[in-house]
Amino acid sequence: MATETVRIGSRGSDLALWQAHWVRDRLSERFPAKTFVVEIIKTTGDRILDAPLSRIGDKGLFTREIEHALLAGSIDLAVHSLKDLPTTLPDGLRLGAVTEREDVRDVFLPRPGNPVRTFAQQPQGARIATGSLRRKCQLLHVRPDLGIVDIRGNLNTRYKKLTESDWAGMILARAGVVRLGWEDRIGESLDPLFVLPAVGQGALGIEIRADDDQTLAEVLTLHHQATGQSTTAERALLRTLEGGCQVPIGTYARVAAGADGAPLLVLDAMVGSLDGKQVVRGTVSGPPDHAEGLGERLAADLLRRGARSILDNIRSDTHDNPAS
């Protein structure tokens, strides 16, 4: 009897392949009668490297081609960094599972040779590289003296650019840095309430066809309930705000024990202007099984307290100056 082959779609970067291989290996352990193989699919975000993410559109930038392959049946499931997966999926697809979250924090990687290893101690006017408007906004909010350098490419490309630069360092997600074995390059891990992470940061999202019950049953063996609840709240917030790469939005949800010992989901979020001068922050908490409602509630609160005007201004500027 022939062994059934299950095809896993992935981007081709070292980090994306690490993630896809991790899922492949876990599923192979659980379902030894099947063969799980990884197939590389190049996305728009992988091809366009000479423009900021905020200027080339963000709807499915790193997922669209993979989703087309999934709908066409040429792959059976897709592994994404959950932060890259749009909050509204194409018809016929669903989020089958969310894996346990890695450390959610951002980290500062100093340039090799920079004797000042932490972000907090960088001198006035230090140049810090990041491709994220979310990070840029929050860093400038507390350190308006900084020079923020836009950087694109996979992690290896970014690190090579850093080594060849005169920048003080760059900010990355700790999860990716750890997964590539770069922990010794970290100068400082930033408190997640100091720089709120991206929606879904540190978690993997496994996308499948909506009618594929067999694959759903398999990937659910990798689902982590608390991470799923936390990221559901974050994604609901982002969907309500209608945000993406073009908007500085940060959020961090976590499930912990409340005062009565029962599980409590706590969600923090921010919306800010591109220059970091305006930031609206808020927090909400409640039962984890109310995750989606909590995200929507906090988004509505932020919009009432000034986020709507910030978002409207950013979208107006982006529409008027699409190539700036």
84 assigned to active site? yes
d(CA 23, CA 82): 14
Q: Is the dihedral of CA 89, 137, 310, 284 positive or negative?
A: positive
d(CA 80, CA 66): 9
Q: Is the dihedral of CA 198, 167, 169, 154 positive or negative?
A: positive
Question: Looking at 84, 106, 212, 268, which residue is catalytic?
Answer: 84
Q: Exposed/middle/buried for 308, CB within 10 Å: 0-12, 13-18, 19+?
A: middle
Instruction: Determine contact, residues 268/281, Cβ cutoff 8 Å.
Output: yes
Given 3-state DSSP classes, what are the helix, strand and coil percentages for the chain, each rounded to the nearest 5?
40, 25, 40
The pairing of strands 169-173 and 127-129 is parallel
Q: What is the DSSP letter of 12?
A: S
Q: Which two tokens stand for residue 281?
A: 């922050």
Q: Is the dihedral of CA 90, 96, 99, 101 positive or negative?
A: positive
Smallest Cα–Cα separation from 133: which of 196, 209, 61, 215?
A: 196
Instruction: Determine contact, residues 179/19, Cβ cutoff 8 Å.
Output: yes
Instruction: Determine contact, residues 87/138, Cβ cutoff 8 Å.
Output: no
Q: Which residues are catalytic?
A: 84
